[in-house]
Amino acid sequence: MPTYDYDLFTIGAGSAGVRASRMAAGFGARAAVAEERYLGGTCVNVGCIPKKLLVYAAHFSADFDDAAGFGWSLGTRQFDWARLIANKNEEIRRLNGVYDRLLQGSGVTIINGRAQLLDAHTVSVDGKAYTAKHILIATGGWPTMPSIPGVENSVTSNEAFFLPRLPDSVLIVGGGYIGVEFAGIFHGLGARVTLVHRGAVFLTGFDDDIRAFLAQEMGKKGIDLRFNAQVARIEQIPAIKRVTLKDGTKVDASLVMFATGRAPNTKNLGLENAGVKLNADGAILVDDYSRTTTSNIYAVGDCTDRRMLTPVAIAEGKAVAETLFNSRPTKPNYANVPTAIFSNPTVGTVGLTEAEARLQHGAVDVYKTVFRPLKHTLSGSAEQAMMKLVVDRETDRVLGCHMVGADAGEIIQGLAVALNCGATKAQFDATIGIHPTAAEEFVTMRDKVA
Integer Cα distance of 255 and 169 in angstroms: 6
- Please report, in tens digits, the pLDDT of each residue of the chain (450 residues total): 569 999 999 999 999 999 999 999 999 999 999 999 999 999 999 999 999 999 999 999 999 999 999 999 988 999 999 999 999 999 999 999 999 999 999 999 999 999 999 999 999 999 999 999 999 999 999 999 999 999 999 999 999 999 999 999 999 999 999 999 999 999 999 999 999 999 999 999 999 999 999 999 999 999 999 999 999 999 999 989 999 999 999 999 999 999 999 999 999 999 999 999 999 999 999 999 999 999 999 999 999 989 999 999 999 999 999 999 999 999 999 999 999 999 999 999 999 999 999 999 999 999 999 999 999 999 999 999 999 999 999 999 999 999 999 999 999 999 999 999 999 999 999 999 999 999 999 999 998 997
Cα distances (Å, whole numbers) of residue 17 to 20, 39, 110, 140, 308:
5, 10, 12, 9, 14
Provide the mean pLDDT of the chain: 97
- Counting every residue, how long is the chain? 450
DSSP 18: H
Residues 6+ apart with CB under 8 A from 98: none
Burial of 96 (0-12, 13-18, 19+ CB in 10 A): middle
% of the chain surpassing 90 pLDDT: 97
Q: Under a CB-based contact definition with an 8 Å cutoff, are residues 316 and 332 in contact?
A: yes
Residue 184's nearest CA partner among 46, 342, 48, 408 is: 342
Residues 6+ apart with CB under 8 A from 241: 150, 153, 154, 171, 234, 235, 252, 253, 254, 255, 256
- List the domains of the chain with CATH numbers: 6-143+263-325 (3.50.50.60), 151-260 (3.50.50.60), 339-443 (3.30.390.30)
Tell me the per-residue pLDDT of 250-301, one tens digit each, with 9 for 90 and over.
Answer: 999 999 999 999 999 999 999 999 999 999 999 999 999 999 999 999 999 9
Integer Cα distance of 15 and 318 in angstroms: 10
Residues 6+ apart with CB under 8 A from 238: none
Residues 6+ apart with CB under 8 A from 85: 161, 162, 163
The residues carrying an active-site annotation are: 435
Residues 6+ apart with CB under 8 A from 126: 113, 114
DSSP 301: G
Integer Cα distance of 203 and 180 in angstroms: 8
Q: Under a CB-based contact definition with an 8 Å cutoff, are residues 197 and 175 in contact?
A: yes
Residue 362: left if φ>0, alpha if ψ -120 to 50, beta else—which one? left
What single string gives the DSSP state of each residue in 160-215? HTT-SS--SEEEEE--SHHHHHHHHHHHHTT-EEEEE-SSSSS-TTS-HHHHHHHH
Integer Cα distance of 203 and 427 in angstroms: 31
Tell me the per-residue pLDDT of 102-138, one tens digit each, with 9 for 90 and over.
Answer: 999 999 999 999 999 999 999 999 999 999 999 999 9
pLDDT at res. 169: 98
Integer Cα distance of 302 and 264 in angstroms: 6
pLDDT at res. 372: 96
Integer Cα distance of 401 and 412 in angstroms: 7
* Prediction pTM value: 0.96
Residues 6+ apart with CB under 8 A from 31: 6, 7, 8, 9, 10, 21, 22, 24, 25, 106, 107, 108, 109
Integer Cα distance of 129 and 340 in angstroms: 41
pLDDT at res. 450: 78
Integer Cα distance of 290 and 333 in angstroms: 12
Burial of 366 (0-12, 13-18, 19+ CB in 10 A): middle
User: Could you tell me how far CA 238 lies from the centroid of its own chain?
Assistant: 35
pLDDT at res. 1: 57
pLDDT at res. 305: 83
Integer Cα distance of 153 and 130 in angstroms: 41
Residue 303's nearest CA partner among 31, 42, 5, 24 is: 42
Residue 213's nearest CA partner among 407, 383, 437 is: 383
Tell me the per-residue pLDDT of 300-345, one tens digit each, with 9 for 90 and over.
Answer: 999 998 999 999 999 999 999 999 999 999 999 999 999 999 999 9
